[in-house]
């Protein structure tokens, strides 16, 4: 059973998140202030932390740095800021993933599950299905209509990252930061090139997309073909 510390000053939201995660089998502790949260992290060494960036006693980014000074625990940040630069700043400060408010409890649980999966590479990772596309992150095997598709390691990582967020638009900047681990350097052209290679392997094109839908000026999302 994985232990979660939720640091959120809004009691109503904190209790809702705690209840949902507890129902899913997590052991949950809540904290209403940054300092209380930090203390609980030090005392209980949880498997994952959910951190609200807007706290009364300390800026969330400062708290994140303090957490990073003591532990590598995966941190999912909840933020009301959705601008690219804020997201990048958050990831750069040491967050593993983030949620933009308002988010659903399903999104919360999915992110917590995703960071836990990434942090415990030994554990069996559940496969992901989108339409006729099936990804097995543990075995690193992708199949389409039952046939294996040959993907490079980066293509596979990119596809899994998008599949974990199916239906959600992901920016190229975010992909550079998270799949390529290059929040600043690196060209977004790299993403474009990999997307076009993926399209070819999925048997589609930019003009006739099925799984990979480009949202002009925003990014790309993986969808179940109509």
Binding site for Ca ion (CB under 5 A): 9, 52, 54
Q: How far is the CB of 55 from Ca ion (least distance, A)?
A: 6
Q: How far is the CB of 56 from Ca ion (least distance, A)?
A: 8
Nearest CB to Ca ion, comparing residues 82 and 205: 82
Q: How far is the CB of 60 from Ca ion (least distance, A)?
A: 8
How many whole angstroms separate alpha carbon 26 and alpha carbon 47? 10
> Tokens for 179?
């799949």
Nearest CB to Ca ion, comparing residues 103 and 161: 103
Nearest to 156 by CA among 138, 132, 182: 138
Nearest CB to Ca ion, comparing residues 52 and 157: 52
Q: How far is the CB of 39 from Ca ion (least distance, A)?
A: 18
Q: How far is the CB of 207 from Ca ion (least distance, A)?
A: 44
Nearest CB to Ca ion, comparing residues 54 and 131: 54
Longest dimension (CA), the chain: 54
How many whole angstroms separate alpha carbon 225 and alpha carbon 70? 45
The CB-nearest residue to Ca ion is 54
Direct distance between the N- and C-terminal alpha carbons of the chain, in angstroms, rounded to an integer:
38
Nearest CB to Ca ion, comparing residues 14 and 111: 14
Beta strand 141-144 pairing with 147-149: antiparallel
The answer to whether 7 touches 52, Cβ cutoff 8 Å, is yes
Q: Is residue 223 classed as helix, strand or coil in its secondary structure?
A: coil
């Amino acid at each position: 059973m994985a232990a979660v510390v939720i640091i959120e000053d809004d009691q109503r939201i904190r209790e809702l998140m705690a209840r949902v995660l507890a129902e899913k089998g997590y052991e949950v502790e809540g904290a209403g202030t940054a300092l209380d949260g930090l203390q609980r992290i030090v005392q209980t060494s949880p498997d994952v932390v959910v951190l609200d960036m807007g706290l009364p006693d300390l800026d969330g980014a400062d708290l994140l740095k303090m957490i990073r000074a003591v532990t590598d625990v995966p941190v999912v940040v909840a933020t009301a800021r959705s601008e690219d630069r804020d997201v990048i700043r958050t990831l750069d400060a040491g967050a593993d993933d983030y949620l933009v408010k308002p988010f659903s409890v399903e999104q919360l649980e999915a992110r917590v599950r995703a960071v836990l999966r990434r942090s415990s590479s030994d554990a069996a990772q559940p496969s992901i299905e989108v339409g006729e596309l099936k990804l097995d992150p543990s075995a690193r095997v992708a199949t389409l209509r039952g046939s294996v598709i040959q993907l490079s390691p980066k293509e596979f990582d990119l596809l899994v990252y998008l599949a974990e967020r199916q239906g959600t638009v992901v920016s190229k900047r975010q992909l550079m930061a998270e799949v390529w681990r290059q929040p600043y350097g690196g060209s977004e052209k790299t993403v474009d090139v990999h997307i076009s290679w993926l399209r070819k392997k999925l048997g589609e094109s930019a003009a006739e997309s099925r799984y990979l839908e480009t949202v002009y000026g925003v990014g790309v999302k993986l969808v179940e073909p109509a």
